[in-house]
Amino acid sequence: MLAMLYVLRKRLHGIEGGKLLISTAKIVLASFIGAAVCWLAKMSIEHILGPLPIGAHLTKVVKLHDIMILAGAAAAGGAAYVLSAHLLHVTELQFATRMLRRRSA
């Protein structure tokens, strides 16, 4: 990784290492927040739905149960990631948002 950064820095005649480090740290922090919210949502949804009925192995009930947990946790984690990245002023998110707005206009 360091070798790739070194080569990239030489080819681009310098990269803004400080800004790159700060941006990476913000993205990692937003990822941790999103992952934590995803895990908490999964645990909460499993608690709310309760255990599966006995003998429900490999049936449609199991699949629906798992899909509900996955969809809820992914939505909560994704929303937490985007919100935390927005609050941390992640430049890449702002750039992506501007691009999406231009395409929809």
pLDDT exceeds cutoff 90 at 41: yes
Residue 48 confidence (pLDDT): 92
Residue whose entry in the numeric block shows the structure tokens 């948002």: 97
Residue 79 confidence (pLDDT): 98
Q: What is the pLDDT of residues 65-87, one digit of tens each?
A: 889 999 999 999 999 999 999 99
Residue 18 confidence (pLDDT): 78
Write the DSSP assignment of 11-57 as a string of letters. Answer: HTT---HHHHHHHHHHHHHHHHHHHHHHHHHHHHHHHHH-PPPTT-T
In the chain, the amino acid numbered 56 is: A
Q: What is the pLDDT of residues 51-67, one digit of tens each?
A: 776 665 656 667 788 89
